[in-house]
Amino acid sequence: MLTIALPTSPGKVSAPCLDAWSLTRALSPRPTVRVARADASGTVLNQYGTHRRTTAGIPVYPWALYLAGSDHRYRLLAFDLDAKTPDTATAAARDAQTLTGLLEDAGLPPVVCASGPSGGRHVWTAVSDSVDADTVAKLARLARHLCPTLDLAPLTNPATGCVRPPGAPHRAGGTSTVISGDLDALLNPTGTASSVRGLVEHMATLIGAAEPAGSLEAHRPLPLDDHGHPYLPGPQRDLPAASKAALNEDAASGDASAVLWRVLIGAASARWKHADVAALVVSYPGMEHLRTYRLSTGSRTQRVGRAATETVAILTRQWAKAVAHVAVSPRLIGEDPTFDSRADAIAAFIRNVQERADAAGGRWANGSGPADRRVLDVLSVLALQALNTDLEADIRRLGLLAGIGRETARVALQRLATDGWISRIQASEGSRAAHWRICGRSDIHSHTSLLRSQADPRPVGAGAAERLTLLTQLTQRIQDCAHDVFTLGPGLGHLAGNLYARTLSTDQSLSELAAGIGTTVPQTAQILERLASVGLLIHSPTGWRRHRTDRRRLAAKYLQTEGRLAQRAALYQLERELWAWWQAEQAWMRAPRRAASSRRAGPGQLTLIPELGTNVYGAHPRRADGKADYRRARYLLATGQAPIGRIRNNNQSLSRMEAA
């Protein structure tokens, strides 16, 4: 095994790095490596723009190793876990432990390196044959969902993706230092492409059982038990094997919250009730998250007992979330053998659309751009849910999901169509909204498996998992920005909401956030200061981050915008019922053998068996001259006097609802 000595001078390398250069020669899949540049003052930049042959002498500046050969097939896998702040350094170390365990279980011996002085980690492994770029890219995206500090670039770009090898110097001083594993595992690998595909499949199962970010709402009301907790109707079954294993897992030694989630979704799918789960809290190690919480003091971490009221509150909240998750996430893979490939195709298509949108950041930064981007994101979510890029887009539904008005949504659709992001394939007609198609640079193939080499079979479940990760990411982004506090004045506005949706609970730099929404650095700084002034963000010497708790409602109260979106939703529901009532009235008028007007039941007077053409609303109100009385119909629905009117005015005038 090669022994790597460490240099002492930052920036440039010295003679002791010769062993690292020898290791680079032995590992490199290509005859060249990439070398960092330096500016006029000699400061080493984080730009690897020059090349050097491995047969030449050691480079003067830090170098990086290609992971794939010239054929764009990967021989090396390097997971680059970034650490720019003390918080992210801790997260990078934790993510390195997660990846190490996953690689070892897959038969891919890992080598973990401290990448440099900032606390980042490089987790290396190698294969004896080679892995296709598509499989490695899937691996990277799924790993990013489990390990947020992962930099996707090296594993998703086979042409230029590279990472500094063990022993290579860091531009800020120090070297990439091995902290666990044996370098011989890289020089004489035992892992194979089949091992990598197995790892992808295992990650896919983990993500399928991962707790979704944000709140979920079932498409239909859920029944409640005698104690007011939701459940799924049906005969109760035994817990699934994965949930049984989680129930008996030593949750205290790992991610106790994730273990609890696997128990809860299994119990919900098995038609258990809240009381059945509550009976397990005291007895099983997998329920540790409900009993205790992790407390870090300095370098020591311990678990501290929760108060009984806190345990009850957490179980109540997580159980409701698990039941809703199972209700809206049918297990389609086993029922439909084509689901995984179709999910993979739609995920790839929407990911391409999102990448193009991100690259055109300036398009969404000014004027109507922020609203347009929200509508595009909502359409992307709907496409992922439907596994179809052809969508019936109701402007009221789009507006409510995006946190904008219906008219703003209507005009946004037209602007997106003009710019080629979508196209209208069918105009609105009657009660049906217009149909739109999301435009992309590639088609969705109905038989995508035919496009792959027989030597590179698709990892089972990876397509469904990729769709779920993308769906979770976009749904969370929409939920973050669609809030009362980000409505127009005196709210913070749509662009501020879009920026907030791209912030994290860890520090991000001003330039990083500016690039995320396509604004200039001064413009971004102004918005960030405004977000911080109402308590939504924290500014520290290392960047901007969110509070650990959601403070959007408090900010909305402060700005006096709380309830705006709820009022808008009430107004749109009223408008839908008014439209449905008039459509039913027109159906009655067109009926060939309709009842006489004098015999029709009015609102609240429906007969048990209605006449042909009548409906649950009853006869539409008429004026003395026989014409439709829209004002009266609106009043009846708004005040709840019509049979199924669900809208109440809550002592507010209709004009105020319309102004919302």
Read off the CATH number of the domain in which 365 is found: 1.10.10.10
| 276 and 383 belong to one structural domain | no
pLDDT for res 603: 55
Is 46 a member of any domain? yes
pLDDT band of residue 519 (cuts 50, 70, 90) is: very high
pLDDT band of residue 577 (cuts 50, 70, 90) is: confident
| 167 and 81 belong to one structural domain | yes
Read off the CATH number of the domain in which 19 is found: 3.90.920.10
Arithmetic mean of pLDDT, 300-311: 83
Nearest to 123 by CA among 136, 113, 133, 137: 113
Arithmetic mean of pLDDT, 117-145: 94
* Residue 446 scores a pLDDT above 60: no
pLDDT for res 599: 58
Arithmetic mean of pLDDT, 489-499: 95
Arithmetic mean of pLDDT, 374-401: 93
Ranges 136-140, 209-213, 410-414, 513-517: which has the least confidence: 209-213
* Residue 655 scores a pLDDT above 60: no
Q: Which of 268-272, 371-375, 505-509 has the highest mean pLDDT?
A: 371-375
- To the nearest whole number, what is the mean pLDDT of the chain? 83
| 54 and 173 belong to one structural domain | yes
Is 236 a member of any domain? no
* Residue 345 scores a pLDDT above 80: yes
pLDDT band of residue 15 (cuts 50, 70, 90) is: very low
Residue 380 tokens, joined? 């992307």
| 354 and 403 belong to one structural domain | yes
Please answer whether residues 205 and 299 qualify as being in contact, where contact means their C-beta atoms are separated by less than 8 angstroms.
no
Share above pLDDT 70 across residues of the chain, in percent, rounded to a whole number? 83
The set of residues, in sequence order, having a beta carbon less than 8 Å from that of 549 and lying 6+ positions away, is: none
Arithmetic mean of pLDDT, 467-479: 90
What is the DSSP track for 516-553?
HHT--HHHHHHHHHHHHHTTSEEEETTEEEE-SS--HH
Please answer whether residues 483 and 403 qualify as being in contact, where contact means their C-beta atoms are separated by less than 8 angstroms.
yes
| 34 and 178 belong to one structural domain | yes
Arithmetic mean of pLDDT, 4-31: 65
Coil, strand or helix: which one is 493? coil
pLDDT for res 444: 58
Arithmetic mean of pLDDT, 72-93: 88
| 81 and 186 belong to one structural domain | yes
pLDDT band of residue 332 (cuts 50, 70, 90) is: very low
pLDDT for res 646: 36
Residue 25 tokens, joined? 């020669």
Q: Is the peptide bond before 490 cis (omega within 30 degrees of 0)?
A: yes
DSSP letter for 141, please. Answer: H
pLDDT for res 617: 64
Total domains, the chain? 5
Is 468 a member of any domain? no
Domain boundary among 562, 587, 619: 562
| 288 and 356 belong to one structural domain | no
Q: Which comes out higher in pLDDT, residue 508 or 329? A: 508
Residue 36 tokens, joined? 């960092």
| 32 and 175 belong to one structural domain | yes
622 has which bridge partners? 628
Domain boundary among 285, 304, 328: 328
* Residue 649 scores a pLDDT above 50: no
pLDDT band of residue 537 (cuts 50, 70, 90) is: very high
Is 212 a member of any domain? no
pLDDT band of residue 329 (cuts 50, 70, 90) is: low
Is 219 a member of any domain? no
Q: Is 378 left (phi over 0), alpha (psi -120 to 50) or beta?
A: alpha
Please answer whether residues 93 and 121 qualify as being in contact, where contact means their C-beta atoms are separated by less than 8 angstroms.
yes
Q: Which comes out higher in pLDDT, residue 198 or 246? A: 198
Residue 30 tokens, joined? 């290509």
Coil, strand or helix: which one is 595? coil
**Angle at Cα 377 formed by Cα 375 and Cα 378, nearest 5°?**
65
What H or E segment, with its residue span, contains residue 151?
strand 150-151
**Angle at Cα 176 formed by Cα 170 and Cα 177, nearest 5°?**
140
pLDDT for res 653: 34
pLDDT for res 494: 97
Is 502 a member of any domain? yes
Is 27 a member of any domain? yes
Share above pLDDT 90 across residues of the chain, in percent, rounded to a whole number? 48
pLDDT for res 470: 93
| Alpha-carbon span 17 to 33, nearest angstrom | 15
pLDDT for res 457: 83
Is 466 a member of any domain? no
pLDDT for res 333: 40
| 163 and 266 belong to one structural domain | no
User: Could you tell me the residue range of the domain that residue 442 belongs to?
Assistant: 339-447
Domain boundary among 265, 295, 328: 328
| Alpha-carbon span 513 to 503, nearest angstrom | 8
Q: 10 Å Cβ neighbour count for 656?
A: 12
Q: Which comes out higher in pLDDT, residue 242 or 628? A: 628
| 397 and 418 belong to one structural domain | yes
Arithmetic mean of pLDDT, 336-362: 91
Nearest to 296 by CA among 87, 98, 99: 87
| 275 and 402 belong to one structural domain | no
Q: 10 Å Cβ neighbour count for 549?
A: 7
pLDDT for res 98: 87
43-61 per-position pLDDT tens digit: 888 888 899 999 998 998 8
Residue 151 tokens, joined? 């930099």
Arithmetic mean of pLDDT, 571-590: 82
pLDDT for res 39: 84
| 313 and 372 belong to one structural domain | no
